Structure 1
Amino acid sequence: MSPESLLLFVLAAVAVIVFARWLASRTGLPSAALLTLIGILYALLPGPNITLDPHIVLTIVLPPLLYSAALDSSLLAIRRNLRIVVSLSVVLVLVTAVAIGLGFHLFVAGATLAAGVAVGAAVAPPDPVAALAVGRRVNLPPKLVTIIQGEGLLNDATALTILSVAVTAAVSGTFSFPAAAAQFVLAAAGGIVVGAAVAWGVRLARPLTRDPLLSNAISLATPFVAFLLGEELHVSGVLAVVVAGLIVGHHTPRLASGASRLQTSAVWRLVDFLLEGFVFLLIGQQLPQVVKGLRQYDTATIVIAVAVSVGVVLLLRPLWLVLNQLLPRWMHTRLGGASEYEDDTPGSARRAASEARNARRLTGREVVALSWSGTRGVITLAAIFTLPLVTDSGAPFPDRDLLLFCAFVVVLVTLVGQGLTFAPLVRALGLRADEADQVRVRNEARSASVEAALARLAEVAAEEPEHADAVESMRAQLNGRLARYRGRLDLLQAAELPGVPVSPQYEAALRIRRAAIDAQREELLRWRDAGQLPDEGLRVLERELDLEELRLPTRTP
């Protein structure tokens, strides 16, 4: 493909991604499923196509996607739900791989256990992108979002390690369980250490992160540094990326300036949008290559292999979640990470109640929702495409083409089937976050931050009496904000109906502030067009108005 053709192909792909995002916003359908279907339709048409290169995906695409997801995750929330997150991301992945391996060995003619475990490891890790996009749109409860997010962050490392062990066994014809277990533990522990070391290095670069451009450069480079360092040391580079992202994301409020955080967040949103779009288009385009190698298998073998793969993936997850909830109650509290509040600070009783909800068992409706959130994605295809063509003896890798097809079908069934039906299922189950509680938390935090600022102003007034006028002006502004926040809390407290009560005065104030900002922009443009204001000055003043508008909530907070 010539450079011009490649450029046209990329531009066409961007146009399709933008269209799919627009269509998803209008219809409520997940863009991941739409892009996958569009990719399949394109693959059936004559013309150039892109074949998935697993090494490019695992080295260039996966690290930034995982790192961005880790930055947006909550280290504390994952720790509170660590038992179930580890259960799903480590134990369930292992059980799924072994179950599919045994199914292939017992029911698929000529299939080996190692080859079955290889495809099982590839299809075991869910890709939470589609499920989380839908879950946030339908306001899924934070506990379920945390579980899906935490599972998606950690399961790739487990799956890729199991796949490596299975491929070694299939290629060499030998397998040692103690050696495999030691390899898994070493890879995981080493990945955690490398990730923590990279995060520590980012923290040392704190003086540079005050500059937004330098902060962006460091942030974009961090996942690749963590991944390559992990792979160079023969430990889990994927886990290193996740650990680095979780730690850096947890400490970013202290490490970076406000301007750096705003710009870095915007850059990562764009990276996610484009990479995820290309990834789901790429999934659909693999159909011709996957189907091409099936001519050597009879229909019965293909049907049985697909049934084993899809059946284990769809049935084992809900069964595992149900068994998980049958554990003794003390394991749901102590290992769940609930913390106790013995202080008298405002909201401490509510926070304690929230912690208790996090530590409790999942309800039946939550189990159903989590069971249907296990969509598979590009990691599954990238992993299965890494299978070698031949073994050490020079023979073809056992049933490679059949394994590719099984993995592709699992991705289609979960990504399209579950992806398209997840939102209706969540709505039918009536699972929604307690929006009023979330609003209450934010306004309590706002009030506390303003009270801290007022206390600091009192110290400044005592230290710098010559600046009393400036202190009083700022105190008046802060007291006004505090009065608004407390008024919202009183409104929430007095509300009798579920949901967030709407304050007509507050909504009117937001409309008036937006109208004033629009009028200021129009006047600045008139000045620029009349030659009274240089474009450089316009951009400076527009940025001030943009930041002011950015602070306005898009909904009642």
Structure 2
Amino acid sequence: MSTHSTLLFVLAAVAVIVVVRWVATHTGLPSAALLPLIGIAYALLPGPNLGLDPDLVLMVVLPPLLYSAALDSSLLDLRRNLRIVVSLSVVLVLLTGVLVGLGFHLFVAGATLAAGIAVGAAIAPPDPVAALAVGRRVNLPPKMITIIQGEGLLNDATALTMLSVAVAAAVGGKFSFPAAVAQFVLAAAGGVAVGAAVAWAKRLARPLTADPLLSNAISLATPFLAYLLGEALHVSGVLAVVVAGLIVGHQTPELGSGASRLQTGAVWRLVDFFLEGFVFLLIGQQLPEVVQGLRQYDTATIVVAVAVSVGVVLLLRPAWLMLTQSLPRSLHTRLGGVSEQDDTGEPGSARQAARADRNADRLTPREVVALSWSGTRGVISLAAIFTLPLTTDSGAPFPDRDLLLFCTFVVVLVTLVGQGLTFAPLVRRLGLRANKSDQARVRNEARSAAVEAALARLDAVAADEPDSAPAVDATRTQLLGRLKRYRGRLDLIQQSGSADVPTSPEYETALRVRRAAIDAQREELLRWRDAGRLPDEELRVLERELDHEELLLPKRASS
């Protein structure tokens, strides 16, 4: 493409992404499922098409997407659900790769075990973007969000390491199980160490993060630094990015300024929006390339290969979830390292917390069904399979490369479109939804505790600085007003006893009044600007103050 054509193509893609986002917002359909279909439709039209560069995806697209997801994850919640997350992101990925490999070796004519494991490794890791987008829209419980998010963070490292081992065996014709295990452990441990080191280095750069622009620059560079450093040391760059993101996200509330956090969060949301949109459009546009090499295969071989790939991906996940959840509770307890004796030896609240942690990975049947249908595959699977070399060390063509590309594309399309479009109706039918009342109660309890801490600090300030009495009294009056509102919300929630947050006419009226006051101030500032009494530069400063004040208001009265 010429520069002019490329620019037009990018602008058209941006327009499509924006329109699809609008459609998804108003219809409830996930944009991650709609965009590949549009990409396929475009690929079938005459004219230039955009090919998938696996190195570009793995080095430029994957690190920021993983890092952003890690920043939004909860390190504590992930640790609480670590057993099931590891079960899905490590054990299930490895099992999927091996079973697909065996299926190819046994049922696909001429296929080798190594080539089968290679495609199995590529299609094993779910891409949770579609499932998470739907889950948040239908108010999926936080525990389910954590599991889906945690699985998506860790499974890519497992799959890509497994893929490299399988490709080495297919290309060189040699495979050593102990060497493969050692390579996997070394890559994982090294990735964790590199990620922790990058997070530590970012913490040392704390003085720079007070400036929002510097904070954004450092934040955008961090995932690429972690990935490149991991790859340079021949460990898992993907895992390095994830670990760095989890640690930095956990430390973010205590680092930098409020302005830096607000701006950095906005930047990452925009990065996610465009990167995810482009990669899902890119998936559909690969159809011509993955189809063109199928002429050498008979229909039966193609059908069997696709059936093995899709069948293992769709059937193994629910089977694995049901198997792991059917283990005796005592086995889960021993695996968690906490015994019943520990339980009885702990005082009230600590004992309840320990019991909650032990049972965090226990899923209800409805949760098992929902998680079984959340395993959508995405661009990482395609990028991984496109990294397969064209030839082996002997100069022969890589075994069944075109067939492996096609199987991966079909799996991505079936799961991304089929499961993506049906996940929301399934979740609604199962009745899985977060308890909004509990969420609002926790928020208002935390707000009340924070205000009480501020009031206690004011007493200390007043004692140390007698001259500050007027300022302390004014601040105390403001805080007491907040505390009264928060406690009123708590009383209303506790009296309701419902899973939905009760509405309060007084609270909703107060929000409307506060928004009306902000709107009136903004309109008056614009009149001053239009009359030439207020320079645009000063308008932006004052408008930013109002924007921050408006941002503090809950989006809904139920908050």
Normalising by the smaller structure, the TM-score range is over 0.9
* Residue 184 to residue 515, structure 1, CA distance change in 2 (3 Å): same
Contact 2:83 2:361 in 1 (8 A): no
Contact 1:80 1:358 in 2 (8 A): no
CA deviation vs aligned residue, 1:443-469 (integer Å, no higher than 9, x gap)? 000000000000100000001110101
3-state SS of the aligned residue for 1:174?
A: coil
CA deviation vs aligned residue, 1:380-424 (integer Å, no higher than 9, x gap)? 000000000000000000000000000000000000000000000
Number of the residue aligned with 2:428: 427
Count of matched residue positions in the alignment of Structure 1 and Structure 2: 554
- In structure 1, how many angstroms separate the alpha carbons of the residues matched to 2:56 and 2:458? 54
Letter in 2 for 1:205: A
Number of the residue aligned with 1:521: 522
Number of the residue aligned with 2:234: 234
* Residue 353 to residue 423, structure 1, CA distance change in 2 (3 Å): farther
Aligned positions of 1:397-416 closer than 5 A: 397-416=398-417
CA deviation vs aligned residue, 1:177-233 (integer Å, no higher than 9, x gap)? 011000000000000000000000000000001111000000000000000000000
Letter in 1 for 2:24: A
Contact 2:96 2:313 in 1 (8 A): yes
Contact 1:32 1:130 in 2 (8 A): yes
- In structure 2, how many angstroms separate the alpha carbons of the residues matched to 1:168 and 1:391? 9
Q: CA deviation at 1:140?
A: 0.5
Number of the residue aligned with 2:364: 363
Number of the residue aligned with 2:154: 154
Number of the residue aligned with 2:446: 445
Number of the residue aligned with 2:58: 58
Letter in 2 for 1:294: L
Number of the residue aligned with 2:472: 471
Letter in 1 for 2:276: E
* Residue 528 to residue 122, structure 1, CA distance change in 2 (3 Å): same
* Residue 327 to residue 350, structure 1, CA distance change in 2 (3 Å): closer
1:7 equivalent in alignment to 2:12: no
Contact 1:196 1:244 in 2 (8 A): yes
- In structure 2, how many angstroms separate the alpha carbons of the residues matched to 1:356 and 1:237? 30
- In structure 2, how many angstroms separate the alpha carbons of the residues matched to 1:384 and 1:166? 12
Contact 1:333 1:359 in 2 (8 A): no
Number of the residue aligned with 2:551: 550
Provide structure 2 residue ranges, at least 5 long, that are not aligned to the other structure.
Answer: none
Contact 1:80 1:336 in 2 (8 A): no
Q: CA deviation at 1:327?
A: 2.0
Q: CA deviation at 1:328?
A: 2.7
Q: CA deviation at 1:350?
A: 12
Contact 1:24 1:31 in 2 (8 A): yes
Contact 1:81 1:336 in 2 (8 A): no
Number of the residue aligned with 2:481: 480
Number of the residue aligned with 1:259: 259
3-state SS of the aligned residue for 2:110?
A: coil
- In structure 1, how many angstroms separate the alpha carbons of the residues matched to 2:61 and 2:497? 49
CA deviation vs aligned residue, 1:32-71 (integer Å, no higher than 9, x gap)? 0010100010000011110000000000000000000000
Number of the residue aligned with 1:417: 418
Number of the residue aligned with 1:204: 204
TM-score, L = length of structure 2 = 0.97
Number of the residue aligned with 1:283: 283
Contact 1:82 1:337 in 2 (8 A): no
CA deviation vs aligned residue, 1:328-370 (integer Å, no higher than 9, x gap)? 31344465699989789xxx69984993695252011000000
Number of the residue aligned with 2:542: 541
Aligned positions of 1:284-363 closer than 5 A: 284-333=284-333, 352=353, 355=356, 359=360, 361-363=362-364
Provide structure 1 residue ranges, at least 5 long, that are not aligned to the other structure.
Answer: none
- In structure 2, how many angstroms separate the alpha carbons of the residues matched to 1:48 and 1:334? 58
* Residue 349 to residue 235, structure 1, CA distance change in 2 (3 Å): closer
Of 262-271 and 547-556, more deviation after overlay is shown by: 547-556
Number of the residue aligned with 1:511: 512
Number of the residue aligned with 1:22: 22
Q: CA deviation at 1:498?
A: 3.2
- In structure 1, how many angstroms separate the alpha carbons of the residues matched to 2:390 and 2:363? 44
Contact 1:336 1:359 in 2 (8 A): no
- In structure 1, how many angstroms separate the alpha carbons of the residues matched to 2:354 and 2:497? 20
Number of the residue aligned with 1:45: 45
Number of the residue aligned with 2:68: 68
Q: CA deviation at 1:285?
A: 0.2
1:490 equivalent in alignment to 2:491: yes
Contact 1:461 1:467 in 2 (8 A): yes
- In structure 2, how many angstroms separate the alpha carbons of the residues matched to 1:512 and 1:46? 56
Letter in 2 for 1:202: K
3-state SS of the aligned residue for 1:359?
A: coil
- In structure 1, how many angstroms separate the alpha carbons of the residues matched to 2:106 and 2:477? 76
- In structure 2, how many angstroms separate the alpha carbons of the residues matched to 1:221 and 1:453? 36
- In structure 2, how many angstroms separate the alpha carbons of the residues matched to 1:393 and 1:336? 48
3-state SS of the aligned residue for 1:474?
A: helix
Q: CA deviation at 1:255?
A: 1.1
CA deviation vs aligned residue, 1:479-518 (integer Å, no higher than 9, x gap)? 1111111111100110044311001000011111111111
Contact 2:77 2:146 in 1 (8 A): yes
Number of the residue aligned with 1:395: 396
Letter in 1 for 2:186: L
TM-score, L = length of structure 1 = 0.97
- In structure 1, how many angstroms separate the alpha carbons of the residues matched to 2:158 and 2:544? 45
Of 350-359 and 423-432, more deviation after overlay is shown by: 350-359
- In structure 2, how many angstroms separate the alpha carbons of the residues matched to 1:548 and 1:354? 41
Contact 2:336 2:358 in 1 (8 A): no
Letter in 2 for 1:33: A
Letter in 2 for 1:417: G
Letter in 1 for 2:232: E
* Residue 195 to residue 28, structure 1, CA distance change in 2 (3 Å): same
Contact 1:33 1:415 in 2 (8 A): yes
Contact 2:84 2:361 in 1 (8 A): no
- In structure 2, how many angstroms separate the alpha carbons of the residues matched to 1:161 and 1:435? 40
* Residue 8 to residue 336, structure 1, CA distance change in 2 (3 Å): farther
Letter in 1 for 2:321: L
The RMSD of aligned alpha carbons is 1.7
3-state SS of the aligned residue for 2:16?
A: helix
* Residue 98 to residue 251, structure 1, CA distance change in 2 (3 Å): same
3-state SS of the aligned residue for 2:553?
A: coil
Of 462-471 and 327-336, more deviation after overlay is shown by: 327-336
Letter in 2 for 1:355: A
Letter in 2 for 1:385: F
Letter in 2 for 1:384: I
Aligned positions of 1:49-198 closer than 5 A: 49-198=49-198
Contact 2:199 2:248 in 1 (8 A): yes
Contact 2:66 2:153 in 1 (8 A): yes
CA deviation vs aligned residue, 1:309-340 (integer Å, no higher than 9, x gap)? 00000000000001111223134446569998
Letter in 2 for 1:511: R
Letter in 1 for 2:503: V
Letter in 2 for 1:31: S
Contact 2:376 2:419 in 1 (8 A): yes
* Residue 52 to residue 324, structure 1, CA distance change in 2 (3 Å): same
- In structure 1, how many angstroms separate the alpha carbons of the residues matched to 2:440 and 2:318? 32
Contact 1:79 1:337 in 2 (8 A): no
* Residue 79 to residue 427, structure 1, CA distance change in 2 (3 Å): same
